[in-house]
Amino acid sequence: MKTTSMPVTSSESISTASLNQFNNQTIPDSRVRLVSTTQRTESFSMEGKPYSVDKAVSSFSHDLRATLAALRDIHVKINDGPTHYQILNDQPSQSDNLLRAVIGIPSRGCSYARTAWGGCAVCGHASSMLWGALEESDTIVVDFEQSLGAILKASPQVLCLYTSGSFLDQHELPLSARNRILSYVAEIESVETVVIESLPHFISAHALDELCERLGGKQIRIGMGLDSSRDFIRTILYQRNIPTSNYQIAIELCQAYEIQTTAYIVLGNPLLSPETARADTIRSIEEAFSFGFSEVSIEPIALQPSTLQDAFQRSGLYEPPTIWDVVAVLNSLPKRIHLRADNLILGGQIFTPLPYASLSSCRECATKARMKVSFIRPEFWRGLPITDTRSCCLFEGPAAVNDCNDQEILQHAQVRLRALVDELAKEKGRTQTNHGGR
C-alpha cells in the first residue's frame, strides 16, 4: 500500500527529557480503550485513504504529547475539592422556572487523563488534585450527600451528576458508590431528568440496564465528548482516539433504552486557525445530529492552568472564542439545522478545575448577539456570564469560515506548535537569566 507523503515541519520540544519520555509512548492502562497514534497501522485515514501512520502525523502527535507533558510538569496541581454544587435557572425568561442542579462527584476522574499518555490535548483535568486521590466509596458518597443536601431545597427538575470523567467507568466511580448515589437520586420527587457524562466505550447494555433500573421512570441523558465529527481532528488535534463508529454504537444503545444523548462540540481549538475552528464546529454540529445525537452542546474553549490553550494565550498566540464566534457558527448552520434549534445548547462554563477565563460578554454584545440569530430561542444563552469588560466588542462583526482538508490542517498545526515551543523556550531562557542561570 502506498504511504501518503507529506512535508514534515521539524519541531523542537521544550525539553529533551520530555521528548525522550514520550518517544514511542504507549498507554499502560489496558482499561482505557484509546490507542496512541504511534501504535496504529492502516487503521486511520487521511482524506479517506488508509495508510500506515505517516511520519509527519506521528512526529506531530509525538511532539504535541511532549509539549503537553512539559506544561503539566511546570504547573502545580490545583486544589479544587472536595464539594461542588450549583443551581442554574435554565428558563430565566419564563414565568415557570426550570431549575437545574449540578453536583460534582469527587471520583478519581477520567481514566485516560490518569494514564502516562495524559489525556486529551485541551483538557484541564490532569491539573486537578483529585486525580491523585484514591477516593473510597464511603468518602465519595458522604461528599455527594453534602452537595445533595445543599440543592434539595431548590427542588430542581434536572440533576447533573458530573465526575469530570465517565460516570459509567467503575475504575473512576466504584460501582457501590454509583449505585448508592443513584438510589438517593431516585427518591427525589422533583427531579425528572438525570444527566451524566461518559466516554462511549463505557456505555453498554448492562450499564444502561442498571441505570434505568436504579432511576425508575426518570428521564436519562448521557453527554459524550465528541469534540469534532472529523476523525482526523479528534484523533490528532484533540488526541482523543475514539472512532466515530464507537459513538454511533453508543447512540444506538441509548436509543434502544429511550435515553437521550448530548454531543459536546468544541469551538476554538488553538491548533486551528479561527476560521477553520469555526468551520469545524459548524460541520460537527451538523454531523452530530446525523449520527443520531439528541442534542448538541457548543463548548467554547475555556482557559485552565497547564492546558495547551493556556500556554498559547500566555504566549500571545491565541485568543479564546468570543460571543461573536458563536454567532458566526450559528448563522452559518444550514437551514435544516434551524429546525433543531431547541436541541442546541451553549456550554463552556462548567469544568474541573474551574477555568480562570471562559466565554463571557458585555451586556451590549449579548443583546446584539441575540438579535443577530433569530432562530435561536432565548434559553440558548442561559448561563452566559455578563461582565463589565468590553473586550468582546473588539471582535464584533462578520467572522470568516474556512474549511480545510486534513493535510492543510496538519501543516497549520505544525506551524502553530513550533511557534508555541519557540515562545516557551524563550520564556524559559528569560526565567533562567532572571535567576542568574540557576
**Residue spans per domain, the chain:** 84-395
Q: Give CA–CA dist 293/314, Å, rounded.
A: 35
pTM for the full predicted model: 0.86
Residues of the chain with confidence (pLDDT) below 70: 1-53, 75-83, 90-97, 126-134, 351-353, 435-438
- Say how many residues make up the chain: 438
What is the pLDDT, as a whole number, of residue 392?
86
Q: Which residue has the cell 462554563?
A: 349
Phi-psi region of 255 (alpha: psi -120 to 50; beta: other; left: phi over 0): alpha
Q: Give Cβ neighbours of residue 352 (< 8 Å, ≥ 6 apart).
A: 80, 84, 104, 109, 124, 125, 128, 130, 162, 164
Contact yes or no for 201/225 (Cβ under 8 A):
no
Contact yes or no for 108/125 (Cβ under 8 A):
no
Q: Give CA–CA dist 227/235, Å, rounded.
A: 10
Q: Which amino acid is at 424?
A: L
What is the pLDDT, as a whole number, of residue 373?
95
Give 298's strand partners.
265, 346
What is the pLDDT, as a whole number, of residue 86?
82
What is the pLDDT, as a whole number, of residue 435?
67
SS3 sequence of the chain: CCCCCCCCCCCCCCCHHHHHHHCCCCCCCCCCCCCCHHHCEEEEEECCEEEECCHHHHHHHHHHHHHHHHHHHHCCCECCCCCEEEEEECCCCCCCCCEEEEEECCCCCCCCCCCCCCCCCCCCHHHEHHHHCCCCHHHHHHHHHHHHHHHHHHCCCEEEEECCCCCCCCCCCCHHHHHHHHHHHHCCCCCCEEEEECCHHHCCHHHHHHHHHHHCCCEEEEEEEEECCCHHHHHHHCCCCCCHHHHHHHHHHHHHCCCEEEEEEEECCCCCCHHHHHHHHHHHHHHHHHHCCCEEEEEECCECCCCHHHHHHHCCCCCCCCHHHHHHHHHHCCHHHHCCHHHEEECCCCCCCCCCECCCECHHHHHHHHHHCCCCCHHHHCCCCECCCCHHHHHCCCCCCCCCCHHHHHHHHHHHHHHHHHHHHHHHHHHHHHCCCC
Give the C-alpha distances (Å, rounded to integers) separating 241 from 68, 230, 297, 379: 16, 11, 20, 33
Cis peptide before 353 (omega within 30 of 0): yes
Contact yes or no for 346/385 (Cβ under 8 A):
no
Closest CA to 181 of 232, 155, 142: 142
| Dihedrals phi, psi of 387, to nearest 5 degrees | -120, 170
Give the C-alpha distances (Å, rounded to integers) separating 297 from 56, 103, 285, 328: 32, 19, 9, 16
Q: Which amino acid is at 262?
A: T
Give 384's strand partners.
none
pLDDT digits (tens, 9 = 90+) for 64-120: 999 998 887 776 666 655 557 788 776 554 445 678 899 988 888 788 887 777 789
99 class by beta-carbon count within 10 Å (0-12 exposed, 13-18 middle, 19+ buried): middle
What is the pLDDT, as a whole number, of residue 36?
37
Q: Give CA–CA dist 350/262, Å, rounded.
A: 15
What is the pLDDT, as a whole number, of residue 335?
94
Domain covering 84-395, topology: TIM Barrel (3.20.20)
